[in-house]
Each structure stands twice: as structure tokens, then as C-alpha cells.
């Protein structure tokens, strides 16, 4: 049996096991995928254990996407550029670190009819998911991008990293408060929530978005997918802005992981299956 897992904390909200196990059954694979709660400080131990148990691969989510960088034997160019890993693959005796979040995010945007070229973006958060979104947007031609995070040092570090990686773009930061964000929204078409706000015990919360500055020309993407409609999306749609949750990105990044582990044909079949069965795993 091929074994896979997703590592994170918290992890109870994850729909990845249901999504993947439904796919494996459809493909007729003798494989299983499970969610494993891994506390901060226990990631290295967990990764060693999975390797010893001959797991084929694993996904990595909050809060481990950056820490896991130092645990892999080989890092893909895209994961290196993003500065975060969401997919592990044990191959030929070594552990590879990949990132399928960026391509998944860009595919979800394009599927919803949004093209980042020529459009500025504001990203709430500066962790692994925020970095993947930033990489995707800048690679897709966004000329301006700002990070806003509760930890200002983390936002500045992300801005420096991507400013060097994409010197042709204007990459900066904005303080984590509505007054500072308001003037930035006049120059940004896309707003991305890449924080846990809106999920689980934080379901009533949302980033500091000045609602009076929000208009119908804005697009709001909340990477939270459980619940499907967060407070952020509800408020944004009330202002006429178009909104999208993280479900499409989840499926596209999951398909990318499947492609690494099981081949391109399996990746194509995964995307087709989830398109035909949109409620699978939910």
C-alpha cells in the first residue's frame, strides 16, 4: 500500500484526506492518505518517522511550510524561490521538497477569469501560503504587491525576498491596520487573505480591511475553505466585490502533488475527477 499524509497544526479542518482518498478509490489505487497533527518543534521527528515507515509523500501545511525547508535533501527551484515547501516526496533514498501552491493558486485565479498581469495585489499574511501567492502573482505579471502581516518583521522579510527575486516589480509592506491599508486599496485590484483568520475558532475574524474603501472593481480571494463563505467573503460581496474561497486552489495544488507522486497522467485524471465530482471530500 502506498501511504501519504498531510502534516500540520491545527489539522482537524483539513479536507485533504477525504479529497485524496476519494481520488485513490476512483483510480483503483492501493493507497491511503491521512491527516497527522504535528506540534511545533516536532516536525523533524515526524518527517524522520514517515521516511522510516516508507511513506511515498506528504503535504505540509500551517505552520510548517517554511521550517521543513531545512529538512529536505533536495529543493525544487520553485520551492526555493518561494521559500516554502508544501509537498514532500521520498524518491530514490532522498527527501525532495516541492511547492505546488503557487501553480495551484494561479490556476484557480485563471479559472475564475482573473489575470494578474498589470494588476496590483495586497496579501494579508507573510507565511508559506502568502509567499506562494506572491510568487504566483509576480510571476504572472503583477506590477505591484504589498504584504500586510501582524508580525511586521515577517512581512518585511517577505518583501525583501520577492523584491530581489522580481526586481522589476514594486514589492513592499503596509501596516496591519485599516487606516494604513485604505490608501493602498486604491492602487490594488486583488486582495488575498493567506492567514488562518476566518477558520475554526477564528471564524468570526477577518484581516483589517477598511470596508468603505472596497468597491465592485476589487476581487477578494480567501484561501480559507472551511467554512466555504467566511466573514471576509460575506462582507466583500456585500460591497459588490467578487469573491472566491480556497477550494479551487486546494484541488489544483493537490493535483500537482499527485503529479509528483504518481505521474502526469494521474494528475490529469485527478483534475478531471474533481471537476466532475466537485463535492468530493466536502
Handedness of CA 178, 180, 183, 184 (dihedral sign): negative
pLDDT value of position 277: 83
What per-residue confidence (pLDDT) applies to 13?
A: 85
Other Cβ atoms closer than 10 A to 258: 26
Residue 243's pLDDT is 94
Name the residue ranges covered by the structural domains of the chain. 2-99+248-276, 103-245
174 contacts 122 by C-beta, under 8 angstroms: yes
Mean pLDDT split into 10-residue runs, the chain, 282 residues: 96 92 94 97 97 97 95 98 98 96 96 93 97 97 97 98 98 97 92 94 92 93 93 94 94 97 95 86 64
Predicted TM-score of the model (pTM)? 0.94
Question: What does DSSP say about strands 87-91 and 94-98: parallel, antiparallel, or unpaired?
Answer: antiparallel
Helices (H) and strands (E) in the chain, counts: 10, 12
103-245 matches 2-99+248-276 in CATH topology = yes
Q: Which residues are catalytic?
A: 65
- The predicted structure's pLDDT at residue 282: 65
Of the options 3.40.50.10860, 3.40.50.300, 3.40.50.2300, 1.10.3720.10, the CATH number for the domain spanning 2-99+248-276: 3.40.50.10860
Q: What is the C-alpha to C-alpha distance for residues 33 and 250, in angstroms, rounded to an integer?
A: 15
Q: Is 162 helix (H, G, I), strand (E, B) or coil?
A: helix
The correct answer on CATH 3.40.50.720 for the domain covering 103-245 is yes
> What's the confidence (pLDDT) of residue 90?
98
Q: Quick check: helix, strand or coil at residue 199?
A: coil
Q: What pLDDT is recorded for position 279?
A: 78
- Give the model's pLDDT for residue 34: 97
Q: End-to-end CA distance of the chain, in Å?
A: 25
Written as nine digits, the cell of 19 is 479529497
Q: What is the pLDDT of residue 41?
A: 94
Amino acid at each position: 500500500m502506498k501511504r501519504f499524509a498531510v502534516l500540520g497544526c491545527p489539522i482537524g479542518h483539513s479536507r485533504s484526506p477525504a479529497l485524496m482518498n476519494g481520488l485513490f478509490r476512483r483510480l483503483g489505487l492501493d493507497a491511503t492518505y491521512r491527516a497527522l497533527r504535528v506540534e511545533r518543534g516536532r516536525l523533524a521527528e515526524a518527517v524522520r518517522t514517515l521516511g522510516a515507515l516508507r511513506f511515498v509523500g506528504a503535504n505540509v501545511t500551517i505552520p510548517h511550510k517554511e521550517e521543513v525547508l531545512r529538512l529536505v535533501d533536495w529543493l525544487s527551484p520553485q520551492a526555493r524561490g518561494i521559500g516554502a515547501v508544501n509537498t514532500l516526496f521520498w524518491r530514490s533514498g532522498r527527501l525532495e521538497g516541492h511547492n505546488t501552491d503557487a501553480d495551484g493558486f494561479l490556476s484557480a485565479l485563471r479559472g475564475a477569469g482573473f489575470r494578474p498581469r498589470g494588476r496590483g495585489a495586497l496579501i494579508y499574511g507573510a507565511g508559506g501560503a502568502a509567499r506562494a501567492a506572491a510568487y504566483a502573482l509576480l510571476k504572472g505579471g503583477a506590477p505591484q504587491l504589498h504584504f500586510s502581516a501582524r508580525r511586521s518583521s515577517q512581512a518585511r522579510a517577505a518583501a525583501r525576498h520577492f523584491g530581489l527575486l522580481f526586481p522589476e516589480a514594486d514589492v513592499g509592506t503596509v501596516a496591519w491596520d485599516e487606516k494604513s491599508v485604505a490608501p493602498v486599496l486604491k492602487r490594488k485590484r486583488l486582495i488575498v487573505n493567506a492567514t488562518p483568520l476566518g477558520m475554526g475558532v477564528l471564524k468570526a475574524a477577518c484581516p483589517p480591511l477598511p470596508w468603505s474603501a472596497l468597491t465592485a472593481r476589487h476581487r477578494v480571494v480567501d484561501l480559507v475553505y472551511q467554512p466555504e463563505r467566511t466573514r471576509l467573503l460575506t462582507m466583500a460581496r456585500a460591497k459588490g466585490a467578487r469573491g472566491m474561497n480556497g477550494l479551487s486552489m486546494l484541488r489544483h495544488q493537490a493535483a500537482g502533488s499527485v503529479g509528483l507522486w504518481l505521474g502526469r497522467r494521474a494528475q490529469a485524471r485527478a483534475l478531471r475527477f474533481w471537476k466532475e465530482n466537485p463535492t468530493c471530500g466536502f
